[in-house]
Amino acid sequence: MKLNIRGNLLYFALKIIKKFDKRQTDLKYFNPEKVKSILIVSSTAIGDTLMSTPAIRAVRERYPEAKIIGHFNIKNMELFENNPHIDGIIPYYGGWKKFFKTVKEFRKHKFDVALILHGNEPQATPMAYLGGAKFILKVPNMNKFRFLLSNSNKIYRWEDFSHGVKARLKSAELIDCKITDNRMILPLLPEGEVFINDFLKRNNIQQSDKIIGFQVGASTVSRMWFPEKFVELGKRLVSLDEKIKIIITGSPKEFDYCKKIANGIGEKVVVSAGQIPLKYISSLVKKFLCLVTGDTGIMHVAVAVGTPVVGLFIVSNPKISGPYYDLEKHFIIKKDTTCNPCLSKKCKHQKCMDNISVDEVFEGIKEVIK
C-alpha cells in the first residue's frame, strides 16, 4: 500500500511538472549530432541486462565519442563492469532505495538521452526524467509514466517483438542506431580464468574431465525443476561416463539447497554456489560442456560465452526469453502450464515442472555434448 501511495503521489507531481516543462522533448526534435551524454537503464536481473548488451553496443557504435553511463542493479553490476561499451555505472539499489540520491547522481552527468532498456517501474522513468534527461525512450512503453517519454505517440507492446533482445534493439534504433550484431557481450576477465582454474583444481576436477553444469535455483519457484529430478539426472550422468563431473551453480543463499542435491547424487559433484565471485561466473560457465537450467540469468551467461544450454521452460516463453542465436547449439524443452490461470511468480508448488521428464533432459544433454 505504501508503495502505491508513493507511486501515485509521484505520478501526480510529475504530471504538474511536465505541464510546465518547456523543453522540446518529443522524438521529432531529436538531433543525433547534439548527443554527448547517454544514460542506459537496465536495472533488473542478470539475464535482462545481458539481453540489453547488443543494444548498448549499437549505441556505442553510433555515438563513439559520447559518454555512456549504465544504470544497473547493484546486486549484479559487477558482472558488467568490464563491458567495453560503457564509461561507468550508477547503481540501482532496488525499489525506492536511494531514489533521490540516484536522481542527483544522474543530474551531474547532464544526460541528453536516457534509454530505458529494462527497468523497474514506478522508479525507472521518473528517475530518468527528474535526472534531467531531455529525451527519454522506452520500449515497450505501456506504463502509466508514458507521458514522460519522447516516444509516447506510438505504442509498443512486448508481443510486438519476437524476442526480448529485439525490443531493446528497437530502443536503440529510435535514436538513429544501426544494428550490426545481435550477440550479447560478456568479456571474460583474465583473473577469472586463474581463479576458476584454481577452484577446479582444489575440487579435484581435471582438465580432461567433462563438466556439466546444473543451475537448480531460479528467480521464482515456477521456473525451478524439482530437486529429486536433478538427483536422478545427476546419477545417470556420472554413471554414463567416468570423466563426467557436475558443478551445481547458484547464489550464496542457495548453497544449502544445492548441497542437498549434490549429496543426493553422490560423488563427482561440486557445489559452486557462494564460492565464485559473480564477476568470474562466466569463466566457470565457459568450462561446461553444457548447462542444464530453467529460464535464469546464468542461462544467458552460458549463451553469451558459447556454452550449450539444455533449457527447461514452462511458465516463460523461450522464443521471448530463451537463447536468441546459435540455436543449433541449444536444446530447449518447452511444456504447457498445468494450472489455469498460471500463478507464475506467485506459484508455491510448480507441479507443471513434472511435465518435464528426466529422460527428456538426459537425451537433450547427450544431443548437445555429442
Q: Express each pLDDT in 271-330 by its tens digit.
A: 999 999 999 999 999 999 999 999 999 999 999 999 999 999 999 999 999 999 999 999
The CATH architecture annotation of domain 2-173 reads 3-Layer(aba) Sandwich (3.40)
Peptide linkage before 140 cis (omega within 30 of 0): yes
> What confidence score (pLDDT) does residue 351 get?
82
> What confidence score (pLDDT) does residue 26 get?
97
Q: Which CATH superfamily is domain 191-369 in?
A: Glycogen Phosphorylase B; (3.40.50.2000)
The residues that bridge with 210 in the sheet, in sequence order, are: 244
CATH topology agreement for domains 2-173 and 191-369: yes
Q: How far, in Å, CA of 214 to CA of 245, rounded? A: 11
Peptide linkage before 318 cis (omega within 30 of 0): no
State which residues of the chain have pLDDT below 70. 1-3
Q: Express each pLDDT in 195-218 by its tens digit.
A: 999 999 999 999 999 999 999 999
- Residue 311 · residue 303 · CB < 8 Å: no
Residue ranges per structural domain of the chain: 2-173, 191-369
> What confidence score (pLDDT) does residue 2 get?
45
The DSSP annotation for 149-191 comes to -TT-SS---GGGSSSHHHHHHHHHHTTT----------PPPHH
**Crossing angle for the helix pair 46-62 and 297-305, nearest 10 degrees?**
50
Can you give 226-281 as a three-state secondary structure string? CHHHHHHHHHHHHHHCCCEEEEEECCHHHHHHHHHHHHHHCCCEEECCCCCCHHHH
Please, which residues have CB within 8 angstroms of residue 111's CB and are 6 or more apart in sequence? 37, 38, 39, 69, 128, 131, 132, 133, 134
Q: Is the alpha carbon torsion for 116, 122, 127, 132 positive or negative?
A: positive
**Maximum separation of any 2 CA atoms in the chain, in Å:** 71
Helix (H) or strand (E) holding 349: none
- Residue 343 · residue 362 · CB < 8 Å: no
Q: The cell 525443476 sits on which residue? A: 225
> What confidence score (pLDDT) does residue 182 get?
94
In the three-class reduction of DSSP (H, G, I as helix; E, B as strand; rest coil), residue 370 is classed as coil
Cell, residue 264: 543426493
Q: How far, in Å, CA of 314 to CA of 329, rounded? A: 20
> What confidence score (pLDDT) does residue 342 get?
78
Candidates 193, 308, 296; CA nearest to 254 is 296
Phi-psi region of 98 (alpha: psi -120 to 50; beta: other; left: phi over 0): left
> What confidence score (pLDDT) does residue 348 get?
76
The DSSP annotation for 210-231 comes to EEEEEE---SSGGGPPPHHHHH
